[in-house]
């Protein structure tokens, strides 16, 4: 307690001379000044006393028995050892960045991705000096001068010691098998002799391994794994200790593993412009196996490193969890590319513009592969997911402007359809309050900052060893929040108006949150290429369609306002925190924490609070008290948009980290319990940002939810007297023929009545999952295709050939007004256009078709049918009980007529056992297909009204209705 002398002087000399929100000193800087006089006496350039008494710091606690063999080391303790090394060092030369060390470990795990994750082992070995403060003060060898110690007798004895441990650099990975490896990249030592190898004892005896040689550990069905490690140096010095590794939720029965087999894969290599930034691609060839001739390019969005970015995972998201979407595309002949970027490798410098430049190079490679196709040239379909839409938009706009406007490039993207899938045109949402938690916990592991230093062993063992949470995950989460791409992604970021947060332990800030400058810069780059002058930058030479995984209505369920989380509120599906309500509320022995959902107000409302138990004393520096308040914030946390689940959910990962103090002492394995405490349901992509709804018509009260039906964007037919809009997709030009592009830049939009998790549709309603697939497939290649309002070719570059190829199983109709899916307009093939149309039954040219002199136009009655099985190179073992077949997909444009004057309806729909079909034309027959396209039944009919009794099993079906020479297809849901 005598060290409170410094504490008292600190208070009297500095603390109350400053306002609470202007305190900028950090504890490490303060202690540097306290012990500045001692640096010349420390040969190791480290002084343990800077941290606390020699044997009472968190890690030197283990040296009490001078035998590391008896100690168990986790990744968190290893990182804390590095943090302590930095704390006691006088010069940055003798420090190692905890964050950079952790990021390197994360990158290693990602770069060695595969069915079995590989975790790097680390070695931390350093020397330090210390002196006996008690005896030095008693003898008068040192004395306190103000707030600094000074040396009176230069003969004060200084001692040298060494601390050395080895252990894993990440955990919380719940796999039955895990690889570990020791490499020079993760060895911190000043020993002049090199590490020559290591040994592992998993209970069956010691086994020797060389550096860079991995060993496989087979986990037990437990939450903790243990093994021993021994590291050997050339000098004969060895490090030996036990290792503890956390494996929450190890399954009792090992799961069958599988890995996606790419037909081909590769990397767009780094260039002088891009440095060590690249993209990787995986090709899943279409069923014709004719090489690359019909590309469908899936550009992945941002995923947290380690926990989801593999090609296998992407395939699961867009095929296994998406009702076989990729399989349907392949069996329509599409060569499906999965594209991902190595954002994790350069997290602090690689952003959207870098990725866009690399994607341009990738498109040039794909287009070059198609150039020699003799039977026409399919333009690319690009499916951008989430952040991937920013990359695609930037790349396509840049190529269009340089090619057609500036005429500075002879390369073009040759893409006809851009599918924008749950994008973030006005910013995604990761709750600002949760970002504050991440930043605060990374900067301050303990809420009692200098108290730890002055009170010796009283606090460290209690609050740092017992309730420190996961340091590795804190490093990981801080990397996520600090990544350039994250800053470009979110609508609100902690770095805006933060005023020395989080490093100052004493902050009371009132500000207006906003976009990070990196996001503003990214949007400015898009605007430089926005030659179309759209209110939101969007490619001008592609058909653009938008998909939101939010809800078409603007309603959400909130728990009672007065009820705090942790008090019995069920975290049910679609239940969010109301504006201004708490995401997290905890008041424990060592600290308290509060995090709030944003609420629009002209007044400053609390967003985040974290405080030490002793913060009531009002003393800065010694205790932590951080408070952030904001005003004029959009209510992005509870919009009717898609939400995050699993490890993509920052709230869930914060739960693993632990919000400090008592919560960290809860069972850190049960992510569900943490999720309920932290209220992790929050909106990630509102419908307004996913469908790029013009901000000028957003609600004035700060809400980020609207009833999309109120905007008249969801009509599907020309009939002007209709009153009912679709429940899942529509063509904005029908309801707003004069100004739809002022509301949304998309020609077709999808949004249904269910809020789904962002990108992951595993548990989505099958009806809406099928409807979404049908929307995508109908835009990609319907059975009945209408072409209007298009110009193939360009009058600007007359010597450049623009090629296009389309096909439909039954019919292609070209003209001025042949489809409701876009604005009326002529179908023009200019002089440098080259068009191939293939249809199985007929190709009809109606008024409004213009073929210019010099153009090439080929129309052919021809339709190739691929085999019914997936290509043999696709490894699907492990997620389907049997390999399914995907027959060709018929037209799924729900209730779209082949001729504009038909009126046909089916009722009731959904149906149980009977169906009534009415039409203005004679019904000749009907055919029933299941969701895979397999014909179930053919029924003869007559008259304009037909009653059909069926015994169909519950599910989704398609009813093909023959009306003389016309055909309609309707979707039927059987209960």
Contact 492/513 with Cβ under 8 angstroms? yes
Residue 218 is assigned to a structural domain of this protein: yes
3-state helix, strand and coil shares in percent for the chain, rounded to the nearest 5: 25, 30, 45
pLDDT at 345: 75
Please give the pLDDT value at position 654: 67
Structurally, how many domains does the chain consist of?
4
For residues 404-419, average pLDDT: 91
My answer on whether 505 and 618 are in the same domain is yes
Residue 490: what pLDDT? Answer: 96
The pLDDT value given to residue 33: 81
606 falls within a domain: yes
Q: Which residues does 618 contact at the CB level (< 8 Å), separation at least 6? A: none
CATH of the domain at 912: 2.60.40.1930
Q: Which of 223, 246, 269 is the last residue of a domain?
A: 246
pLDDT the model gives residue 266? 86
My answer on whether 54 and 174 are in the same domain is: yes
CA distance 461 to 439: 23
Please indicate, yes or no, if residue 450 is contained in any of the structural domains.
yes
Please indicate, yes or no, whether residues 566 and 495 belong to a single structural domain of this protein: yes
- Return the HEC string of 936-948: EEEEECCCCEEEE
Going across the sheet that includes 849-851, the strands are 790-792, 827-829, 849-851
Q: 789-814: per-residue pLDDT in tens?
A: 999 998 778 788 899 999 999 999 99
In this prediction, residue 722 carries a pLDDT of 60
Instruction: Pick from 208-217, 406-415, 670-679 the range whose average pLDDT is largest.
Output: 208-217
139 compared with 445, residue with greater pLDDT: 139
Inside any domain, residue 558: yes
Q: How far is Cα 635 from Cα 688, in angstroms, rounded to an integer?
A: 12
95 burial class (0-12, 13-18, 19+ CB within 10 angstroms)?
Answer: middle
Describe the crossing of helices 471-482 and 75-88 by its angle, rounded to 10 degrees. Answer: 70
402-411, 558-567, 707-716: which is most confident: 707-716
The predicted-structure confidence for 167-181, as pLDDT tens digits, reads as follows 999 887 777 889 999
Is 80 exceeded by the pLDDT of residue 622? Answer: no
Count Cβ atoms below 10 Å from residue 86 Cβ, excluding itself.
15
Residues in the chain: 975
Q: Which domain holds residue 612?
A: 433-519+554-685
Give the C-alpha separation, 167 to 470, whole Å.
Answer: 14
In this structure, the answer to whether residues 53 and 178 fall within a common structural domain is yes
What is the pLDDT at residue 975?
74
50 and 164 in a single domain? The answer is yes
679 and 788: one domain? no
- The H or E element that residue 917 is part of is strand 914-919
Task: Please give the span between the terminal C-alpha atoms of the chain, in angstroms, as a whole number.
Answer: 74
Query: What is the structure's pLDDT at 657?
Result: 58
What pairing do the DSSP bridges indicate for beta strands 784-787 and 811-814?
parallel
- Confidence (pLDDT) at 932: 62
State the pLDDT at residue 94: 85
Task: Look at 72 and 66; give whichever has higher pLDDT.
Answer: 72
Q: What is the pLDDT of residues 342-356, one digit of tens each?
A: 887 778 888 999 999
Residue 488 has pLDDT above 70, yes or no: yes
In the sheet with 506-511, reading across from the earlier edge strand, the strands are 506-511, 625-630, 605-612, 591-596, 582-587
Question: Model confidence at 780, in pLDDT bands (50, 70, 90)?
Answer: very high
Pairing of strands 582-587, 591-596: antiparallel
Backbone phi, then psi, for 200, in 5-degree steps?
-130, 135
| Domain end marker among 668, 685, 702 | 685
Are both 796 and 925 inside the same structural domain? no
- Which one-letter DSSP state was computed for residue 907? E
CA–CA separation, 485 and 353 (whole Å)? 10
Residues 911 and 831 in one domain: no
Q: Is the peptide bond before 908 cis (omega within 30 degrees of 0)?
A: yes
380-385 and 415-421 as β-strands: parallel, antiparallel, unpaired?
A: parallel
Same domain for 824 and 934, yes or no, is: no
Asked whether residue 308 is assigned to any structural domain, the reply reads no
Rounded CA gap, 573 and 528, in Å? 41
Whether 262 contacts 94, CB under 8 Å: no
pLDDT > 50? residue 4: no
- Of 195, 222, 246, which residue sits at a domain end? 246
Confidence (pLDDT) at 25:
44
d(CA 202, CA 207): 9
Model confidence pLDDT, tens digit, residues 516-539? 999 999 999 999 999 988 999 999
Kindly state whether residues 473 and 615 are assigned to the same domain. Answer: yes
Q: What pLDDT, on a 0 to 100 scale, did the predictor assign at position 672?
A: 32
Listed in sequence order, the residues at least 6 apart from 356 whose beta carbon sits closer than 8 Å to its beta carbon are 390, 391, 392, 394, 395, 398
Task: Kindly state whether residues 855 and 908 are assigned to the same domain.
Answer: no
More confident residue, 876 or 482: 482
Q: Are residues 837 and 917 in the same domain?
A: no
Given a contact cutoff of 8 angstroms between Cβ atoms, the answer to whether 534 and 541 are in contact is no
Q: Is residue 926 part of a domain?
A: yes
Residue 186 resides in a domain: yes
- pLDDT-derived band at 737, boundaries 50, 70, 90: very high
User: Per the domain annotation, does 851 fall within a domain?
Assistant: yes
């Amino acid at each position: 307690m005598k060290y409170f002398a410094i504490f008292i002087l600190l208070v009297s000399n500095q603390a109350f001379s400053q306002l609470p929100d202007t305190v900028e000193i950090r504890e490490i800087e303060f202690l540097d000044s306290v012990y500045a006089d001692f640096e010349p006496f420390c040969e190791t350039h480290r002084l343990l006393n800077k941290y606390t008494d020699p044997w009472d710091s968190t890690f030197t606690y283990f040296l009490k028995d001078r035998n590391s063999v008896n100690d168990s080391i986790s990744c968190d303790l290893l990182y804390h050892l590095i943090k302590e090394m930095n704390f006691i060092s006088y010069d940055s030369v003798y420090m190692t960045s905890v964050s950079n060390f952790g990021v390197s470990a994360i990158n290693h795990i990602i770069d060695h991705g595969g069915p079995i994750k590989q975790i790097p082992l680390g070695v931390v070995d350093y020397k330090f000096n210390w002196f006996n403060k008690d005896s030095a003060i008693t003898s008068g060898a040192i004395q306190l001068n103000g707030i600094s110690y000074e040396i009176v007798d230069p003969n004060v004895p200084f001692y040298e010691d060494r601390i050395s441990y080895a252990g894993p650099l990440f955990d919380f990975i719940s796999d039955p098998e895990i690889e570990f490896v020791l490499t020079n990249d993760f060895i911190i030592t000043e020993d002049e002799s090199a590490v020559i190898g290591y040994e592992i004892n998993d209970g069956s005896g010691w086994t020797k391994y060389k550096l860079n040689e991995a060993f496989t550990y087979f986990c037990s069905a437990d939450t903790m794994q243990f093994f021993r490690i021994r590291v050997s140096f050339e000098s004969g010095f060895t490090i030996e200790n036990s290792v503890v590794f956390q494996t929450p939720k190890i399954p009792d029965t090992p799961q069958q593993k599988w890995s996606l087999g790419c037909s081909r894969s590769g990397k767009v290599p780094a260039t002088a412009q891009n440095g060590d930034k690249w993209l990787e691609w995986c090709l899943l060839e279409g069923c014709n196996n004719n090489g690359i001739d019909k590309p469908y390019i899936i550009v992945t969005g941002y995923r947290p490193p380690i926990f989801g970015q593999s090609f296998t995972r992407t395939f699961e998201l867009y095929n296994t969890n998406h009702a076989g979407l990729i399989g349907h595309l392949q069996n329509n002949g599409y060569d499906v590319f999965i594209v991902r970027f190595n954002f994790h490798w350069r997290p602090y410098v690689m952003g959207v513009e870098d990725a866009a430049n690399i994607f341009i190079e990738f498109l040039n490679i794909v287009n070059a592969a198609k150039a020699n196709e003799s039977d026409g040239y399919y333009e690319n379909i690009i499916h951008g997911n989430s952040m991937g839409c920013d990359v695609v938009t930037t790349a396509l706009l840049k190529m269009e402007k340089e090619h057609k406007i500036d005429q500075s490039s002879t390369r073009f993207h040759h893409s006809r359809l851009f599918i924008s899938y749950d994008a973030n045109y006005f910013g995604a949402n990761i709750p600002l309050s949760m970002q504050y938690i991440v930043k605060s916990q990374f900067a301050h592991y303990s809420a009692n900052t200098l108290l730890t230093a002055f009170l010796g062993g009283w606090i460290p063992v209690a609050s740092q060893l017992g309730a420190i949470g996961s340091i590795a995950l804190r490093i990981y989460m801080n990397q996520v929040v600090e990544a350039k791409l994250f800053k470009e992604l979110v609508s609100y970021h902690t770095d805006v108006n933060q005023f020395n947060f989080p490093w100052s332990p004493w902050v009371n800030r009132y500000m207006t949150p906003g976009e990070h400058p990196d996001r503003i810069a990214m949007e400015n780059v898009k605007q430089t290429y926005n030659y179309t002058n759209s209110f939101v930058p969007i490619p001008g030479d592609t058909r653009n369609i938008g998909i939101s995984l939010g809800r078409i209505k603007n309603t959400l369920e909130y728990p009672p306002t007065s009820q705090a989380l942790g008090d019995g509120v069920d975290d049910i599906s679609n239940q969010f925190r109301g504006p201004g309500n708490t995401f997290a509320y905890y008041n424990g022995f060592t600290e308290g924490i509060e995090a709030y959902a944003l609420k629009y107000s002209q007044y400053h409302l609390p967003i985040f609070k974290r405080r030490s138990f002793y913060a009531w004393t009002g003393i800065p520096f010694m205790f932590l008290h951080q408070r952030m308040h904001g005003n004029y914030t959009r209510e992005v946390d509870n919009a009717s948009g898609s939400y995050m689940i699993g490890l993509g959910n920052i709230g869930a990962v914060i739960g693993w980290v632990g919000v400090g103090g008592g919560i960290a002492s809860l069972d850190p394995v049960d992510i569900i319990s943490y999720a309920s405490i932290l209220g992790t349901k929050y909106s990630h992509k509102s419908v307004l940002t996913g469908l790029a709804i013009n901000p000028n018509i957003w609600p004035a009260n700060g809400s980020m939810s609207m009833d999309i039906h109120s905007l008249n964007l969801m009509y599907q037919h020309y009939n002007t007297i209709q009153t009912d809009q679709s429940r899942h997709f529509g063509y904005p030009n029908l309801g707003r023929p004069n100004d739809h592009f002022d509301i949304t830049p998309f020609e077709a939009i999808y949004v249904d009545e269910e809020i789904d998790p962002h990108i992951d549709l595993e548990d989505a309603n099958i009806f809406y999952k099928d409807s979404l697939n049908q929307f995508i497939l109908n835009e990609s290649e319907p059975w009945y295709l209408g072409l209007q309002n298009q110009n193939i070719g360009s009058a600007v570059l007359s010597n450049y050939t623009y090629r296009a190829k389309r096909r439909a199983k039954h019919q292609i109709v070209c003209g001025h007004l042949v489809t409701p899916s876009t604005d009326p307009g002529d179908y023009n093939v200019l002089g440098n256009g080259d068009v191939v149309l293939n249809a199985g039954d007929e190709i009809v040219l109606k008024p409004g078709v213009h073929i210019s002199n010099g153009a090439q136009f080929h129309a052919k009655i021809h339709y190739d049918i691929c085999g019914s099985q997936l290509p043999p190179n696709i490894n699907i073992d492990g997620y389907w009980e049997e390999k399914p077949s995907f027959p060709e997909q018929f037209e799924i444009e729900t209730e779209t007529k082949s001729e504009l004057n038909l009126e046909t309806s089916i009722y009731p729909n959904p149906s149980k056992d009977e169906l009534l079909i009415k039409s203005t034309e004679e019904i000749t027959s009907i055919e029933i297909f299941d969701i895979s396209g397999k014909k179930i039944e053919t029924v003869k009919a007559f008259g304009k009204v037909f009653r059909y009794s069926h015994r169909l099993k519950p599910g989704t079906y398609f009813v093909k209705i023959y009306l003389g020479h016309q055909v309609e297809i309707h979707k039927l849901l059987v209960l």
